[in-house]
A = this chain, B = another copy of it.
Amino acid sequence: MEELKKTVINFRNERDWGKFHNAKDLAISLNLEAGELLENFQWKSSEEATETKNQEIKEEIADVMIYLLLLCDKLDINLEDAVHSKLKMNAQKYPIDKSFGKNAKYNEL
């Protein structure tokens, strides 16, 4: 992950784009890329989209990841640590015995 982050940061620095990157606009960008990802599924079943838009979906997933790494750099967040912490919180909200095989929200379990 650290290697990947460095590559992304390097790409940004080579273009001197860091000066535009405040966290709020990066969060907006991340939303826009997530929207472009979703656009590939519009008016289609999940299977249909997966088959016909495979390459486009992969590219948009990459774009979301790029903005995620830029945001983590900006905010000095270790992404792996953040995921581990969040999974621990989720494990408390969704204990295995209560949530097994259910798609209900934690407050509806």
Residues of A within 8 A of B (CB): 1, 4, 7-8, 11, 14-17, 19-20, 22-25, 27-32, 34-47, 49-50, 54, 57-59, 61-66, 68, 71-72, 75, 77, 79-80, 82-87, 89-91, 94, 96, 99-101, 103
Contact = CB atoms under 8 A, between A and B. Distances in A.
5 contacts: A27-B34, A34-B34, A61-B68, A62-B79, A62-B85
Dominant SS among interface residues on chain A: helix
A61 B72 contact: yes
A46 to B, nearest CB: 4
Contact of A77 (B40, B47, B61): B61
A108 B39 CA distance: 15
